[in-house]
Structure 1
Amino acid sequence: MTTRIGIVGAGLIGRAWAIVFARAGMSVSLYDVDADALDKAREAIRQSLNDLQQAGLIENVDAPLALIQVESDLLRAMAGAEYIQECGPENCEAKRRIYTDLEAVASEDTVLASSTSGIAASQFTDHLRHPERCLVAHPVNPPYLIPLVEVAPAPATSEAAVNRTMRLMEQAQQAPILVRKEVQGFILNRLQGALLNEALRLFRDGYVSAEDLDKTVKHGLGLRWSFMGPFETIDLNAPSGVVDYGQRYGPLYRDVDRQRNDDDPWDAATLAALDKERRERLPTDGLADRQAWRDRRLMALMAHQRNVSPS
């Protein structure tokens, strides 16, 4: 029997999740209160599937598209769903309302997962009768091109709900990781935030241009990080592994860390200066084309990774 997935929200992330699950042969019901969003969703999904087919990442468009239905009634949309992916606003009170509605229509054993980028599940599920089936499954945008999913349970979440979600993500060709304890921003955004905060400070304080900062990651760190993580990187960068690396370079990193302060690098003046440099290289009206270029490059990377031996 085909696994039935319910998705709440037909925006960018909801549509992307629909592709992930349908591509894996799962039946998807995509719900939104906005009829206009539903009208646009199917064509947007078809276009993304066409792009995937042209990149050689799916065999045809019609098979996954046939598994996706759109629905404006929540009860009908979630009927029979074994797993529900919520893609609502990044707002705690809005999510509390959505989860109240979902609990009223979903079966008691249905897993309710949120796509939130940083809100801990306990903050919007602690009022429910069955918070044990609720958790976060945070994707990276777009999830049909970047497979990482952060599975972040709340203290009340059952082990069964976690295990079901991990297995489902693996079946959907994603790469799930388990966030062992609740933490704001989970893992990916905390790592990304640390790099962005330092990048903004280095730019703000005049050490590097925006273009050269991006080149440092693109032609340096990013090349290694595209196929191995930072811990494996340092383990391989010293003759005897990670302890050896720590003895050699730990003092440098400790000194650099002490030089940082707690000021806010996201101030308006810094962002305005960064925007000025970025717009000189890429005018605002070119953003959409560059986003499409990014997705094509991700597709090419995915196709390449499929042809190499798994780690």
Structure 2
Amino acid sequence: MTERYPVCLYDIGEEQLAKARETVKNNLEKLEEEGLSRGSSTAAEALARITSTTSLQDALAGAIYAQESTMESVDFKKRIFKDMDAAAAPSTILASSTSTIPASVFTEGLQNRFRCLVVHPVNPPLYLTLTELGPAPWTDASVVDRAYEIMESIGQAPIRLKKEVLGFAVNRLQYALLAESWRLVKDGVLSVEDVDKVMSEGLGPRYAFYGPFGVIHLNAAGVRDYCTRYAGGIRRVLDDAGETPTFDEEEVIGELETSLQRSLPVERMGEHSAERAQKLAELAKLKRKLKKD
């Protein structure tokens, strides 16, 4: 059963808060229309539980959990977490939406650093439920447990990092794939279009339901059989991979840009983003249906 929580939005000005409330309203209504609401509340009922304020102290008063979603800047996060730590009760969990900055970098000097961690949703979070929980070395285990429970209670799919690593899980996997994709284009092995086709028509659909370990388990008589049969080949392929790209090689960037401008022109980015969102909504509906069946 999805829990119902009162929510208070905080920002520095009423204009920003008005935009945030409108975005939340539109998203709640969109999920309702698509049959993808996380709980039994209507969009209007959920919206009625949301308030807003320009006072950080008021926003954190009585809060059990706070999610910081500001700029990806270490210095800024240090400042906002210092303010949050001073304003919130010691029992309030303080979480950051950062996608790459480890919690230890901006929480080390806090009096109550034990209650701080990264809780990173995946973009676009409206349709993708994965949420990475990344504790600092000093984050109390009970804080991670409680944050995990809260994420599950609102319909998210949390994962728990057992120790702090740069980039967390999503970006470490994403960047490894991006590096090899870049090398295949740079070395003249595949076109940009064919690299994307490998994912959209091959690996991507498989990973949408089982992930890399589930896939290899199903591709043989179990994971042990897969490793026994293919470990040598895997090592040879990985040993053949080139150096990590710098991602500033102009010849590759130019090739990528030329290809992607044909299929996804920047001038129509809003349209393409909306199309991606609709496709993800349909995939989310399918996965929900299959889970029920």
TM normalised by structure 1 equals 0.88
Q: Once structures 1 and 2 are overlaid, which stretch shifts more, 276-285 or 225-234?
A: 276-285
The equivalent of 1:111 in structure 2 is: 93
Tell me how far 1:308 sits from its aligned partner.
1.7
Counterpart among 99, 102, 105 of residue 120 in structure 1: 102
Partner SS for 1:30? strand
Equivalences for 1:128-167 in 2 at 5 Å?
Answer: 128-167=110-149
The equivalent of 2:156 in structure 1 is: 174
Q: How many percent identity over aligned positions?
A: 41
Partner SS for 1:81? coil
The equivalent of 1:308 in structure 2 is: 290
The equivalent of 2:36 in structure 1 is: 57
Counterpart among 256, 278, 282 of residue 237 in structure 2: 256
Counterpart among 98, 121, 138 of residue 80 in structure 2: 98
The equivalent of 1:43 in structure 2 is: 22
Equivalences for 1:3-14 in 2 at 5 Å?
Answer: none
Deviations 1:17-70 (A, max 9, x none): xxxxxx852111111124432221122222222221221113632111112222
**Would you say the 8 A contact 1:200–1:265 is kept in 2?**
no
One-letter amino acid of the structure 1 residue matched with residue 34 of structure 2? A
Partner SS for 1:25? coil
Q: Distance in 1 between matches of 2:96 and 2:169?
A: 15
Q: Distance in 2 between matches of 1:234 and 1:251?
A: 15
Counterpart among 237, 246, 254 of residue 227 in structure 2: 246
Q: Distance in 1 between matches of 2:152 and 2:244?
A: 40
Say if 2:201 is the partner of 1:222: no
**Would you say the 8 A contact 1:28–1:69 is kept in 2?**
yes
Tell me how far 1:289 sits from its aligned partner.
0.9
Deviations 1:172-215 (A, max 9, x none): 11111110011000111101110011111111222112221111
- Structure 2: runs of 5+ lacking an equivalent: none
One-letter amino acid of the structure 2 residue matched with residue 171 of structure 1? S
Q: Distance in 2 between matches of 1:28 and 1:285?
A: 36
Say if 2:11 is the partner of 1:32: yes
Tell me how far 1:136 sits from its aligned partner.
0.8
Deviations 1:252-302 (A, max 9, x none): 221121122334241141223211210122221211111111111111111
Q: Distance in 1 between matches of 2:179 and 2:16?
A: 34
Partner SS for 1:151? strand
The equivalent of 2:165 in structure 1 is: 183
TM normalised by structure 2 equals 0.93
Partner SS for 2:189? coil
Q: Distance in 1 between matches of 2:242 and 2:16?
A: 44
Say if 2:248 is the partner of 1:267: yes
Question: How many residues get paired?
Answer: 288
Moved over 3 A (4+): none
Q: Once structures 1 and 2 are overlaid, which stretch shifts more, 181-190 or 208-217?
A: 208-217
One-letter amino acid of the structure 2 residue matched with residue 64 of structure 1? A
- Structure 1: runs of 5+ lacking an equivalent: 1-22
